Amino acid sequence: MAFFLAQFLTGLANAAALFLVASGLSLIFGVTRIVNFAHGSFYMLGAFIGITLMDILPGHVGFWGAILLTGLAVGVIGALTEMIVLRPIYRAPELFQLVATFGVILVIQDLALMIWGAEDKLGPRAPGLRGVWRIFGEPVPKYDIVLIAITPFILFALWYLITKTRLGILVRAATQDREMVGALGVNQAWLFTGVFALGSALAGLGGALQLPKGGADLLMDFNIIGEVFVVVVIGGMGSLPGAFIAAVLISVLNVFGVTYLPQSTLVLMYVVMAIVLIIRPWGILGREEAAGEHGQVGSPERPIRPYGPKGIALTSAFVLALALVPLFAEQFVLTLIVDMIVFALFAASLHFILGTGGLVSFGHAAFFGGGAYAAALLVFHTGTPMELAFLFAPLAAGLLALAIGWFCIRLSGVYFAMLTLAFSQLVWSLAFQWRDVTRGDDGLVNIWPAEWLNAPAPFYYFTLILGTGGIIFLRHVIHSPFGYALRAGRDSPRQAEAMGIDVKRVQYAAFCLAGIMAGLAGGIFVFSKGSVFPTVLEIGESFDALIVVFLGGVKTLAGGVVGAGFMTGVEDWLTRLEYWRLLLGLVIISVVILMPEGIVGTLSTLWRKIRHTDEETIR
Amino acid sequence: MTEILRVENLKKSYDGFVAVGGVSFSVKQGELKALIGPNGAGKSTCFNMLMGQLKPTEGRVFFDGKDITGHKPRDIWRKGVGRTFQITGTYQSMTVIENVQMALMSHHRRIFTIGPRAWKLYRDEAMDLLGVVAMQDQADRPCSVLAYGDLKRLELAIALCHKPRLLLMDEPTAGMAPSARIELMQLTADIVRDQGVSVLFTEHDMDVVFAHSHHIMVLNRGELIADGNATEVRNNPQVQEVYLGGGTLFKEETHA
């Protein structure tokens, strides 16, 4: 019993930092509608800056003073980030900003590496709170008790700020109706900057506050971001008490998970999130997000048209050029192009549900990796011939999409995104921890193509045919009645339902089709590499696809494919350099700022301007 | 004339607040009937229950003799009821004619078809419908650049796609210029006459209502206080009080 209590207290103590970080993210999302992936990076910065400041400032005052100063410093960094990176792109399509914040993650990672080095840093102990107190005989660190004691005050302070002060009123008003707040004479730009600074400061505080328990390292940003999103979503987007309850729930569960069910630790919180979202689709204390509540941002999408003769000729020429590559190119070029095509198909499948369907999935890697693993498992365990195992990849991914979609499709917006993320994490942990079958992070190796394909050129053609075939098929579907129905459900679900379209069923079918195509890409991938590891199922893989779709242009048809080609090329070139993350981050941020409609979108707008054609000439 | 829509004791309440309290009426084949009433009278709530967007607390709705109470909007649409919304809900990323084609594809049950190119399907049929609302010259413009009045006409064309026997129009002329209002309602009246469609619509513009409707119902605070032709409704003392003046009816509500 005493042990139980001690465990519970540890969980509560862990919740303090988590709640701080999560409430910051929740505030930022509520007001600016930005899904800020870089929030974990501000937390990491908080930890590193905290250590540096604590070294300089001695004693009690120094320790607590350093924590407060850290909050201030990270708040300033957050404000600068908002002004430089995000302010230029508020008019871009919804969720476009998350790509920019992803660039910020990469930049901060390398900057932290430059400044503080690659080694993990141990956090200093809090002066006067080094030992333990015994509670019913069980040792509980003094610092934990102090954290538990201050958390309610933090909650109260934030609650007071939001409900009782003028700033709080503005923030809540902006959460409900940004335009109205602007019309009432509030300077939106500064309100956004202020909120972003406050949110970042909270993340920084969280990072500094957890130092005596955890220290600082370069993986902190990614390690916490998943947890933070889970907390915000479980609590309900924009609800502080919700975030608090969820932070406690997740932290306590994690502590008990480590003790009683160690193999569950990787997925426990995602399982909890999935259950909460299935029962309460808007989190514990969240409210329903009405469709289209936040309005269309940016210019409306232009009506789509299949390529005319010129477009078909150009595309055919391009594919033909690709077909000629093996005649003169070296093997590494072929490998690079295979990677590009695989990634382009994967991105196109995500683009299909994201662009055409308006369904933002944060867990699309589940189908790519799922397909790869399905084929690899068959080959590895049963020695199934490649031809058959390969077919199994899209099939298994489709079945997986059928199962996952059944739960996810009833949600919408960010909640849909988070539930897909939760399920993809489940699949990932299965691959990671079910060692008997998947061999964990040793991966499945020796998954080579059949004899007749097992050479660079034949496999290249195999990829070219299936990859371009898949992409063309998806494009064809977009132009078909089914694709139109999918777009109708995105543009106006109410109108679509009122003309006999079962919007959810259309979306479900599209989700499954996207899963199948991602699985196809995964199938090609596994046989091109000869192996598969759990990394193909990681969050990072899903986000890569998301980023290239946005970079290419969500509101264009070629966006996903072009973005994937661009990204694979740039990455291949940059990763040879030492601080490639910094450069890649800067490239992403520049593209985002210079081309707010994505590469394809901005180029075609430019093209129309040059030719002086406007909306009237569609056909 | 036969009854196309019959509503029996339709009621909607939210935690004790009665939005619509036991309304009964019917709409006959080929009739153009108006449902009027001050803001907050329960008109839109009533419409949303007829079309399935809201589930009634009590009461029944019969379309063509069949019970459609609580059915989903898309099922009610399939049975032959069309609807236009108070705030238009067209597909912004499609052209004008594609909006109509979309409805036709749904009507012909081609939603899950992936073979043909959508913009080639039912184009002639869609063009005919655009002709009915005089929108043919704008067929290939993006929907997102249309003027508001044109959007309203487009919505009407969309609603006619499946040859509905009953059309529900929620404030069809709201937000339009006065001359355009008369035009749109004249158009609606023509459609009723030519195609034998029945129309039930809500409206605030009394000129529009009295100029075109065959029958008028007046809803006030969730209760039906009149149901008759223009003269009967005009002379109804209760209606006069609501619209012209005792003023007392609204005084009690000022605290809300």
Place of tokens 């006069």: B240
Task: Say if B152 falls within a structural domain.
Answer: no
Contact between chains at A487 and B93 (C-beta distance less than 8 A) = yes
Q: Report the CATH number at residue B240.
A: 3.40.50.300
Q: Identify the bridge partners of residue A532 per DSSP, sorted by sequence position.
A: A444
In a domain, B158, yes or no: no
Q: Work out how many domains chain B is built from and give that number.
A: 2
3-state secondary structure A588-619: HHHHHHHCCCHHHHHHHHHHHHHHCCCCCCCC
- Chain B residues within an 8 Å CB radius of A301: 92-93
Q: Tell me: do B168 and B85 sit in the same domain.
A: yes
- The two tokens of residue B127 are 């063009």
| pLDDT band for position B248 (cuts 50, 70, 90) | very low
CB contact under 8 A, B141 and A488: no
Give pLDDT, residue B256. Answer: 36
Q: What angle (nearest 5°) sits at the alpha carbon of residue A345, between those of residues A344 and A350?
A: 95
Q: What is the model's pLDDT at position B107?
A: 93
Q: Which residues of A touch B110 (CB under 8 A)?
A: 481
Structural domain includes residue B71: yes
Can you read off the two tokens belonging to residue A35?
């899904």
Confirm if B134 and B157 have CB atoms less than 8 A apart. no
Decide: A582 and A111 in contact? Cβ < 8 Å.
yes
Separation CA A320–CA A312 (nearest Å):
12
B36 and B75 together in one domain: yes
User: What integer pLDDT is reported at residue A445 of this predicted model?
Assistant: 86
Question: Does B153 fall in a domain?
Answer: no
d(CA A322, CA A402): 34
For residues B41-48, give the mean pLDDT: 87
Q: Which domain holds residue B106?
A: 91-145
pLDDT reported for residue A320: 92
Q: Are A522 and A372 in contact (CB under 8 A)?
A: yes
Please check whether residue B150 lies inside any domain of the structure: no
* CA gap B204, B230 in Å, rounded: 15
Tell me how far apart the alpha carbons of residues A362 and A369 are, in angstroms, rounded to a whole number: 14
Note the pLDDT of residue B94.
92
> Does B124 lie in the same domain as B32?
no
CA distance A345 to A528: 14
Q: How confident is the model at residue B242 (pLDDT cuts 50, 70, 90)?
A: confident
Structure tokens at A265: 């630790």
Min distance B79 CA to chain A CA atoms (Å): 10
Min distance B242 CA to chain A CA atoms (Å)? 33
What kind and span of H or E run contains B3?
A: strand B3-14
Q: Closest to B115 (Cβ–Cβ): which among A480, A487, A490? A: A480
Give the distance between the most distant pair of CA atoms in chain A: 81
B79 touches chain A (CB under 8 A): no
Low-confidence ranges of chain A (pLDDT < 50): 291-296, 616-619
Across the interface, whether the CB atoms of B113 and A482 are under 8 A apart is answered yes
Q: Among B89, B116, B118, whose Cβ lies nearest the Cβ of A492?
A: B89
Same domain, residue pair B80 and B60:
yes
Q: What angle do CA A104, A110, A111 make, to 5 degrees?
A: 85
The alpha carbon of residue A501 is apart from the nearest alpha carbon of chain B, in Å, by 6
Per DSSP bridges, beta strands B215-220 and B223-228 are antiparallel
- Specify the pLDDT at position B76: 92
Are B89 and A500 an interchain contact pair (Cβ–Cβ within 8 Å)?
A: no
- Put simply, the answer to whether A497 touches B74 (Cβ < 8 Å) is yes
Are B83 and B174 in the same domain? Answer: yes
Say whether pLDDT at B60 is over 80: yes
Which residues fall within 8 angstroms of residue A15, CB to CB, at 6 or more apart?
A: A151, A244, A247, A248, A250, A251, A252
With contacts defined as CB-CB under 8 Å, which chain B residues touch A507?
A: none
Best of B54, B81, B91, B107 to disrupt the A interface (most A CBs within 10 Å) is B91
Q: Are residues B177 and B133 in the same domain?
A: no
* Domain shared by B74 and B196, yes or no: yes
By DSSP bridging, strand B198-202 and strand B32-36 are parallel
| Helices assigned H by DSSP within chain B | 43-50, 73-78, 96-107, 123-132, 148-159, 178-195, 206-212, 230-235, 237-244, 248-251
Residue B92 to residue A491, Cβ atoms within 8 A: yes
pLDDT of residue A338: 93
The pTM of the full predicted model, rounded to 2 decimals, is 0.88
Residue A191 contacts residue A170 (beta carbons within 8 Å): yes
pLDDT tens digits, A138-174: 778 888 888 888 888 888 988 888 888 888 888 878 7
Q: Residue B251: what pLDDT?
A: 39
Chain B residue with CA closest to A302: the answer is B93
Domain-embedded: residue B156: no
Chain A contact for B170 (CB, 8 A cutoff): no
From B165, B1, B178, B2, select the one nearest B76 (Cα to Cα): B165
Structure tokens at A434: 């079910």
Side chain identity, residue A477: V
Please report which residue ranges of A89-187 form alpha helices under DSSP H.
Answer: 97-116, 142-164, 166-176, 178-183
| Residue B95 with chain A: CB contacts under 8 Å | 303, 618
**pLDDT given at position B109:** 93
B89–chain A nearest CA distance, Å: 5
* Residue pairs spanning A and B at CB distance below 8 A: 121
Contact criterion met (CB < 8 Å) for B72 and A481: no
From B151's Cα to the closest Cα of chain A, the distance in A is 13
In the 8-state DSSP scheme, what is residue A301? P
Residues B61 and B104 occupy one common structural domain: no
The Cα A148–Cα A129 span in angstroms is: 13
Residue of B nearest to A304 (CA): B94
Q: What is the ipTM of this complex?
A: 0.89
* Nearest C-alpha in A relative to B79: A500
Task: Please tell me the distance in Å from A474's CA to the nearest CA on chain B.
Answer: 10
The lowest-confidence range among A299-313, B45-59, B135-149 is: A299-313
B29 with B85, same domain? yes
pLDDT score at A57 = 85
Q: Are residues B99 and B60 in the same domain?
A: no
The model's confidence at residue B70, banded by pLDDT at 50, 70 and 90, is confident
Q: Please state, for a pLDDT cut of 70, what percent of chain B lies above it.
A: 95
Determine contact: B78 vs chain A, CB below 8 A: yes
Do the Cβ atoms of B80 and A442 come closer than 8 Å? no
Give A133's strand partners: A140
Cβ–Cβ contact B25 with A under 8 A: no
B158 and A CB contact within 8 Å: yes
- Report residue A199 as tokens: 């949110």
Q: State the maximum Cα–Cα separation within chain B, in Å, rounded to a whole number.
A: 64
Q: Enumerate the residues of chain A whose CB falls inside 8 A of the CB of residue B73.
A: 497-498
So what's the pLDDT on residue A94?
A: 65
Burial, B248: exposed, middle or buried (Cβ in 10 Å; 0-12, 13-18, 19+)? exposed
From B142's Cα to the closest Cα of chain A, the distance in A is 6
Q: Report yes or no: B96 at the A interface, CB cutoff 8 Å.
A: no
Cα three-residue angle B173-B174-B175, rounded to 5 degrees: 110
Q: Name residues whose C-beta falls within 8 Å of residue B166's C-beta, 6 or more positions apart in sequence.
A: B4, B5, B27, B63, B80, B81, B82, B197, B198, B199, B200
Task: Specify whether the CB–CB gap between A458 and A528 falls below 8 A.
Answer: no
User: Long-range contacts for A452-458 (Cβ within 8 Å, ≥24 apart)?
Assistant: A453/A386, A453/A527, A456/A326, A456/A331, A456/A334, A456/A335, A457/A326, A457/A334
Angle, vertex CA A131, rays to CA A125 and CA A133, nearest 5: 135
B236 and B191 both lie in a single domain: yes
Residues 448-477 of A with CB under 8 A from B: 476-477
Query: Does B67 lie in the same domain as B26?
Result: yes
User: Mutating which of B79, B86, B102, B110 best tests the A interface, going by the most A Cβ atoms within 10 A?
Assistant: B102
**pLDDT per residue as tens digits for the range B112-131:** 999 899 888 999 999 999 99
